[in-house]
Amino acid sequence: MSTELNNILITGATRGVGEALTLRFAQQGRKVFALARTQQQLDALVQRGGSGVIPYSVDISNLEALETAINEIESDHGGVDVLINNAGIVQNIEFANQDIEVMNRILDVNLKGTLFCTRLTVPHMIERKRGRILNISSVAGVRGIFGQAAYCASKHGMNGFADALAQELIPHNIGVATICPGGIDTPLWDKETNPYPGDIDKTIRPSEVVDMVEFLLKQPVGTMYKRIVVFPTNEWH
């Protein structure tokens, strides 16, 4: 990874892929701005990751709170070199039965939260003439999945946004890429409230996604991969 990419902002940092990313980069001596909603989980993450983890208790769908956090990162910590849009929520339920508030929340976090974080970060990257934006999307962003209509809408939106943004940022030496994994073994798949519709023992491990992120960050901006789609061989769809 380029030595210029030392300051990394990760959303959804306390669980699953976000937690694995935070701990990996903190262990490398990078400065990680860990964004999540729950202060208790952030405190536990800092205990594991050490002084390189700088926690921010923020709901990324709250534009005002997010702007305050990113302004502080810019003024006090030298800004963001790498933005990893990772936060996401899902619910397995047929669309006709999904609660409207849950549907809104999925779109707020998965799509609007990504747009908000990126919009607040990109102008500073443009000013510095460098940066990377990585989006942790899903195979739900490249096809439809039964029982995940709202989630698919949010991830298709994320992918389309990333494709357009990548074109806009080429002149500014800023790379944009998206990873679209299939099922990952994370707390997102709760056995009772949100069961994984496949074999949980054969899902992708968070560490594998972290390896992909590191691979992408090692690539020159001019050859940045647009999208990586990866899923287990037993994937149900």
CA distance linking residue 200 with residue 40, whole number of Å: 27
Nearest-CA neighbor of 149 among 87, 88, 95? 95
**Nearest Cα residue to 31 out of 91, 78, 97, 93:** 78
56 is catalytic: no
Nearest to 83 by CA among 122, 109, 44: 122
- In the structure, how many helices (H) and strands (E) does the chain have? 7, 7
DSSP string, 77-104: H---SEEEE-------S-GGGS-HHHHH
End-to-end CA, the chain: 34
Among 56, 151, 196, 225, the active-site one is 151
Residues with catalytic function = 151
